[in-house]
Amino acid sequence: MKERKAVTWFTELGLSSVEFYRLVTGEDPPKSGLQILSLGAGLQSSVIGLMACHGEIEKPHAAIFADPQWESAATYEWLTVLDEILLKHGIPLIVVSIGSLPGALVSSARAERERRAQEGRGEDVTTERVWAAPPPLYTVSLRERGCKWPKQIEGQLTLLDVPAADAADDSGDPNGKIRKPMMIDVLGTLGRNCTRTYKIEPIQRAALQLMGFKRASPRRPVTQLLGITTDEAGRMRKPKSKAWINSYPLIDKGMSRGDCAAWLDHHGYKPIPKSSCLGCPFKSNRSLAEDRREDPEAFEATCQVDDEIREGIAGTKAQGLYLHRSARPLRDVYLDDNNESLFDIDCQGVCGV
């Protein structure tokens, strides 16, 4: 898979975060009272950074972006623009990454296939498991297979069940080229580990590193500015530990997503591309169709990740993993209808929605 990565001054210079902070601000990072912008690089968190540059909110000490290496080219381009703007206003943009999320899924799936092949041939299993922190991948027919581990979301997401009677009439493709939806007995998802592993924890570790500590402590709490707007206030969360304080500047200002777009326009900025992993299972069909139109090569690479995970990844007993909620191969899904993004279910504002 072609490598995708954020390229910013921080990544280019090869300095430690503390050295970079000193270079940009001329000071040492604070040992307490650190305020960071938890940057998802989508509309809301970017607007927080820009409002800080315009003096409309207090400047955070730094912006931190955790790169799952699966963002769109447009988001990576926007990051380089935002990097320059923040830099001019003395806000260092620090990029951290624990590696490629799609790369980890593929490695895990390949190792799992090899392990099963070895088992099938009656050989000793010598292939190591490769653990991945998966997104909430969709899986089907779990009850029949007796798999207890994946979280059942029946009821919560009943729209995902495709009743057999409707399936034949409602495929939606005027040309009749697509496959009919599968008949699904029970549809579920794997637990969602990606956000914590690829976003939340790397950002928190980077904040602690800036201060020079390994562990968070309520004696020196870190404030995280999170990009959540009034129309999605349900995503606000109280941190589990008193070592972290969540701050919601856009909520404090009574701003909705539409207000953020209007703010950008008023200040002469172009619209900010939507940010989230290219293969995020929460994406709407519209968003996936946009990805396919804007960057067919990247969309095909995502389809290949979807193909690779089909038979499972490490730790999954379930067969049939899918990136798309229809539980069909992504490249076969008819994307020109619309459905809602599922980010509203549980996103803490760090996935750039």
Q: Does 204 bind ligand SF4 (CB under 6 A)?
A: no
- Contact with ligand SF4 (CB under 6 A) among 34, 200, 305, 351: 351
Q: How far apart are CA 154 and CA 161, in angstroms?
A: 8
Q: Which is closer to ligand SF4, CB of 134 or CB of 181? A: 134
Q: How far is the CB of 341 from ligand SF4 (least distance, A)?
A: 10
Query: In the window 118-157, what residues touch ligand SF4 (CB under 6 A)?
Result: 135
Q: Which residue is it, tokens 């003395």?
A: 90
291, 72 contact by CB (below 8 A): yes
Least distance (Å) between residue 156 CB and ligand SF4: 16
Q: Using an 8 Å Cβ cutoff, are 164 and 196 in contact?
A: no
Interface with ligand SF4 includes 104 (CB under 6 A)? no
CB nearer ligand SF4, residue 57 or residue 200: 200
Q: Is 223 in the site for ligand SF4 (CB under 6 A)?
A: no
**Smaller CB separation from ligand SF4, 91 or 301:** 301
Q: Give the list of residues 6+ apart from residue 87 with CB closer than 8 angstroms, or none.
A: 9, 24, 93
Site membership for ligand SF4, residue 6 (CB under 6 A): no
User: What is the contact mask toward ligand SF4 in residues 284 to 313, using x (rule: CB under 6 A)?
Assistant: ------------------------------
Q: Tell how far CA 230 is from the center of its chain.
A: 21
Distance between CA atoms of 211 and 202, rounded to whole angstroms? 14
In the complex, the smallest distance separating the C-beta of residue 235 from ligand SF4, rounded to whole angstroms, is 12
Q: Is 276 in the site for ligand SF4 (CB under 6 A)?
A: yes
172: left (phi over 0), alpha (psi -120 to 50) or beta: left
229 binds ligand SF4 (CB under 6 A): no
- When binding is defined by CB under 6 A, the residue of 36, 250, 280, 289 that contacts ligand SF4 is 280
> Residue 76, interface with ligand SF4 (CB under 6 A)?
no
- Say whether residue 102 binds ligand SF4 (CB under 6 A): no
Give me the DSSP letters along 108-138: HHHHHHHHHHHHHTT----SPP--------E
Query: Should residue 68 be labelled a site residue for ligand SF4 when binding is judged by CB under 6 A?
Result: yes
Alpha helices in 121-213 (DSSP H): 142-145, 164-167, 194, 201-211
Neighbours of 84 (CB within 10 A): 12
Beta carbon nearer to ligand SF4, 283 or 328: 283
Q: Name the one residue in this structure whose structure tokens are 């909110």.
A: 57
- Residues forming the site for ligand SF4 (CB under 6 A): 68, 135, 194-195, 198-199, 276-277, 280, 282, 351
